[in-house]
Amino acid sequence: MKQAESKWRTAAQERIYRRRLLEALRSTASGAGPRAVKEAADSALALTARGQSQWSRAILLGRCRPRRKLLLKAGGKVRRGRRRPRPAAPVSVAVATGKKVRDRLRVLGRLVPGCRQLSAPSLLEEAADYVAALEMQVKAMRALADAFSAASLNAAAAGEAESRVV
């Protein structure tokens, strides 16, 4: 796990990601919503990872789109599984613990793009890499938001000063 985190902690990776993020944001339409910004940020992150991880390849190939969207575009229907719960049979502690771990791994596989079918060790490695990449993404986007807010404050102050002079 240390290896995955250290790869995303380098200053060079951050610079590359920031540059790609700015390029991706410039290429989106000015009135685009938050989903377009998220897609631009995710694609910049995947490009920075250079497709070396499962999640980055999934983002680059566009396989992380929800099944519902794909089905609706194809004219299909989404079935919602609403089943009645079966009466619980007595289960040993070891079996219950194993089931909890499997369930949590399945949920984790859904959270990391392209990782639904991975084995547990591979999934944990991919998840660690993805979390480290997302931390870098948050850091870069915070810096970008701070820069934009400082620029807008400076522009507002300059506009206020001009109105006093006139």
Taking the CA atoms of 74, 76, 79 and 80 in sequence, report the sign of the dihedral they define: positive
Q: From CA 53, how far away is CA 73, in angstroms rounded?
A: 28
- Summary count for the chain: helices (H), strands (E): 7, 0
What is the pLDDT at residue 112? 94
What is the pLDDT at residue 60? 86
What is the pLDDT at residue 103? 93
DSSP codes, 79-106: PP---PPPPPPP--HHHHHHHHHHHHHH
pLDDT in tens, the chain (166 residues): 455 446 777 888 889 999 999 988 888 888 888 888 888 899 999 999 888 899 999 988 885 555 445 444 445 444 455 666 667 677 677 777 888 999 999 999 999 999 999 999 999 999 999 999 999 999 999 998 999 899 888 877 776 666 665 5
Domain ranges in the chain are: 2-76+105-165
Taking the CA atoms of 107, 112, 116 and 120 in sequence, report the sign of the dihedral they define: negative
